[in-house]
Chain A
Amino acid sequence: MTTEPTPTVEPTPTVSDDTASDRPPTSVPDGATVEACPYCERPFPTDRLRALHLGERHADRLTPEERATFEETEDEEIDDLFVYHLKVVALIVLVVMGLSYVYAFALA
């Protein structure tokens, strides 16, 4: 059995360290706003996403200001998530009720 390494295809660049692998390939549409990460240069459409990214991916390198911004933004995100989850619960109820109605009429 041949085990010699033959040239293999690596269509995507190999990632070797955490910083690089945190950065998926991005493309920014012309004229769009860019808030780039100061550490890995990943572009974000809003500074809110960039602030969250800083806390998630570069937590150990943040300046005190960046940390404060992250914590503030994280709080906002969690508040918004609560509202989002209320909608989700409403939607779950809607799906179950809707399906029950359909069953009731289809099997009547």
Chain B
Amino acid sequence: MTAPDRSLLPALTRRGLVAALGTTLLVGVASAHAGSLGSVTPVSVPSWLFALTGGAVVVASFLFTSLLTDRDLIRAVNERGPTVQAPRALALGRRLLAAVGVVGLLAVVVVGLFVPAPPVANLAVLLVWVAWWAGYTTTVYLVGNTWPALNPFRTLAGSLPTLDRPLPARLATWPSVVGLLALVWLEVVSPLADAPRLLAGVAVGYTLLTLAGAVVFGSRTWFERVDPVSRVFRFYGALAPVQRVREGFVVGLPGAGLLTHGGTEGVVGRRRSPDGPVRADGGVASTAAHRGRSLVSGGDDVAFVVALLWTTTFDGFVSTQVWADLAGPAVEWGAPPLAVYLAALVGGFGLFFGGYRLASALARRSAGSYVTSVELERRFAVALLPIAAGYHLAHFAGYFLTFSPALAAVLAAPLSPPANPLLVVLPDWFGAIQLSFVVLGHLLGVWVAHSVAFETFTGRLQPLRSQYPYVVVMAAYTMTSMWLLMQPYTAPPFL
């Protein structure tokens, strides 16, 4: 069976770059498609059926995991492997990564401002979107969180004095939620991937803002509670098989880190591990200050995880015909386009957050439990992270592969890049692989929710019943995500 993938590739490609080279890509894909047909007649599965299949796979996976109700066995699966002592080269590696980060940031700013190359041959654009946001982010959830070491802003902030003003405790980490939504809004409404100068300007602005914040509130407070980028990597990194602990690294199944994050608590806060607590930023806590701080420790963290999930969806949603049809009338009635985008972003986030909170309230009821629904929101939120990562992978794996030869060519000669660098034309079947990433993310999400339920509830039936609302939400979300991926690319209007 063949996915309707001719339409998939443009939808997966970042808007700005598409605008710059859409024709090249489309021509390339079209010819590849014609050439690959051969004598095989493809069976065209309608996109709704693809989405329905994805939803059914999620439901079936819940049904299959419900056969496993032995707590000890579930724990054994999520048990982390042996701790590997941190090699002495680690300090050197950290310094190397820090240097790479700073050089990378410098390259984005200098090349973006002063090298007049088109986006597809511009190192600034390729570094930010292809190397960093598509490629590097993937390594964070597939391997481990190296961002605390690589983070150029943190490295730069380290050499500055700090006033260590306290950030009001009641703000918790809400500033990072606002920051994430603001960043995504900026990315969607401005041609950041199409205008290297603008991108460099944003990079400079972000650097100044971040350094100012780190100076006023202290580096640690800023990067743990305010900086949305660090928080994104912190949550994505918790998913990775390699986790940092005090003595070195532990290796476990993907997602196991979600349940044991922090060494002692994880989500559930049940068992102690001798590994010692991991600092919220992925480093290792040296004091008891962070002992017991779990990955998702309150409503603010829940909101951040939901925002992370929603923003990946929003990014795909604005390049569909449905969005064009919805936004059109609003703008015709006189609403400013930027406000329409902002309203959709914030409204959609509210909808997702509300939907998740409703599911948690229903879970309390379907389980027949007195555990507060706020507590359920907190505990089950980690199950959303594999879903966000799966969607990111579906979105950006193909994007990274498509542009990686261009990235290599431009890296070799950043100041005088080739005018028309080579791009990979992905084969048709790659579309099906991308859809399967969405489903895989949900499968891991189902497993994580299953594990959390068995740590939270009593007996064997109550944990199973508690998962019904979440399974319904996940199946619905799988179908929505797959449908979005299969939509033909439509340039977001009015921008």
Find A25's partner among B157, B217, B374, B462 (CB 8 Å cutoff).
B374
Bound together, the chains give a CA A2 to CA B214 distance in angstroms of 9
Q: Which of B60, B269, B461 is the one whose CB lies under 8 Å from A96?
A: B60
Residues in chain A near residue B49, CB distance under 8 A? 102-103, 106
Contact of B43 among A9, A21, A26, A107 (CB under 8 A): A107
Report whether B172 and A9 are in contact in the complex, using a CB–CB cutoff of 8 Å: yes
* Interchain CB contact under 8 A, A92 and B63: yes
Beta-carbon contacts under 8 Å, B275-317 to A: 280, 286-287, 289-294, 297-300
Q: Does A77 contact B (CB under 8 A)?
A: yes
Task: Give complex CA distance A1, B149 in Å.
Answer: 12
For the complex, is A95 an interface residue (Cβ under 8 Å from B)?
A: yes
Supposing A4-B164, A9-B169 touch, asked if A25 and B375 sit within 8 A by C-beta, the answer is yes
Shortest distance between the CB of B410 and any CB in chain A (Å) = 32
* Interface hub of A8, A15, A34, A44 (most chain B Cβ within 10 A): A8
Is B265's CB within 8 Å of the partner chain A? yes
Does any Cβ of B come within 8 Å of A63's Cβ?
A: no
A1-43 contact mask (Cβ, 8 Å, vs B): 1 or 0 = 1111111111110111010011011111000101000000011
Are A9 and B173 closer than 8 Å at their CB atoms?
A: yes
Q: Does B46 contact A (CB under 8 A)?
A: yes
The 8 Å CB contact of B458, one of A16, A25, A53, A99, is A53
A6 vs B90: C-alpha distance when bound (angstroms): 26
B56 & A77 in contact (Cβ 8 Å cutoff): no
How distant is B464 from chain A, measured CB to nearest CB, in Å?
A: 7
- Distance in Å: Cβ of B210 to nearest Cβ of chain A: 14
Q: Measured between alpha carbons, how far is A88 from B59 in the docked complex, in Å?
A: 11
User: Measured between alpha carbons, how far is A94 from B380 in the docked complex, in Å?
Assistant: 28
Tell me the bound Cα distance from A98 to B339 in angstroms.
44
Q: Are A11 and B164 in contact (CB under 8 A)?
A: no
Contact with B along A68-87 (1 / 0, CB 8 A): 00000000011011001100
In the complex the two chains form, what is the Cα distance from A1 to B147 in whole Å? 15
Cβ–Cβ < 8 Å partners of B333 in chain A? none
Given A2-B220, A8-B290, A9-B169: A85 and B67 interface contact (C-beta under 8 Å): yes
Contact between chains at B292 and A15 (CB < 8 Å) = yes
Give the interface size bracket for B toward A.
35 or more
A68 CB to nearest B CB, Å: 17
Which residues of B have CB within 8 Å of A43? 370
CA A42 – CA B59 in complex, angstroms?
A: 32
- B158 proximity list for chain A (CB < 8 A): 1-2
Provide the residues of chain B in CB contact with A46, threshold 8 Å.
368
Q: What residues of A have a CB within 8 angstroms of the CB of B66 in the complex?
A: 84-85, 88
B424 to chain A, nearest CB (A): 31
Instruction: Report chain A residues within 8 Å CB of B219.
Output: 1-2
Chain B hits for A4, CB < 8 A = 164, 218, 220
Q: Which of B52, B67, B218, B297 contacts A10 (CB 8 A)?
A: B297
A11-B298, A12-B297 are known contacts. Are A26 and B371 too (CB-CB below 8 A)? yes
B45 CB–A CB distance under 8 Å: yes
A99 to B67 CA separation, bound complex (whole angstroms): 21
> Does B166 lie at the interface of the complex (its beta carbon under 8 Å from any beta carbon of A)?
yes
Task: State A26–B372 Cα separation when bound (angstroms).
Answer: 5
CB closest residue in chain A, given B298? A11
Contact A95 B166 (CB under 8 A): no
Which residues of A are found within 8 Å of B321, using beta-carbon distances?
A: none
Q: In the complex, what residues of B have CB within 8 A of residue A106's CB?
A: 45-46, 49
Binding site for B on A (CB under 8 A): 1-12, 14-16, 18, 21-22, 24-28, 32, 34, 42-46, 48-49, 52-53, 56, 77-78, 80-81, 84-85, 88, 91-92, 95-96, 98-99, 102-103, 106-107
- In the complex, 30 of the A-B residue pairs with CB atoms within 8 angstroms, ordered by the A residue number, are A2-B164, A4-B218, A6-B218, A7-B166, A10-B293, A11-B172, A12-B298, A14-B292, A15-B265, A16-B292, A18-B270, A18-B271, A18-B272, A21-B269, A24-B371, A24-B372, A26-B375, A27-B372, A28-B370, A32-B370, A34-B370, A44-B458, A46-B368, A49-B458, A81-B461, A85-B66, A88-B63, A99-B56, A102-B52, A106-B45
